[in-house]
Amino acid sequence: MVRALVDCEIPVMGHLGLTPQSVNVMGGFKVQGRKADDALRLLEDAHRLQEAGCFALVLEGIPAELAARATEVLTIPTIGIGAGPACSGQVLVFHDVLGLTKGHRPKFVRAYADGFHVLHEALSRWAADVRKGAFPTAQESYRLPEGLSDAIASWTPATPT
């Protein structure tokens, strides 16, 4: 499939390891490639994806040593998410970076802000203003041009024919 897409001039970035879209098949959000056969299969799959024409490869939720080896042997860049520091680049979901989710965070997530509480407070204040009629105000509302108010006030629905 990758080769067919690339042949149609559609760029493809591969994705190996923990693939969230397949999490139910994998038995949950678990580190991948910890067994010898799984690790070797991942390296082989990485090579196949490169040969099929992927321009880069996301390595997610795999041991750092495995990601380092894949990065070493491939000629395309690797982008890590929970794959250690040796990848060509790193990615982290912005919800995680901003700390927008509450509860358990995977080991590889570092929140750089407490966005959940900031958003919760802001949305609570907004909802309270809406409930008490303090939002929106006239300053946050659009106005009709001069003279159009009378035309609107005298409008009646057309009768069906």
Residues marked as catalytic:
60
Residue 66: which of 88, 110, 36, 92 has the closest Cα? 36
The order of strands in the sheet holding 78-81 is: 13-17, 56-60, 78-81, 89-90
CA distance 76 to 126: 47
112 exposure class (CB count in 10 Å sphere: 0-12, 13-18, 19+):
exposed
Placement of tokens 């929106």 in the chain:
136
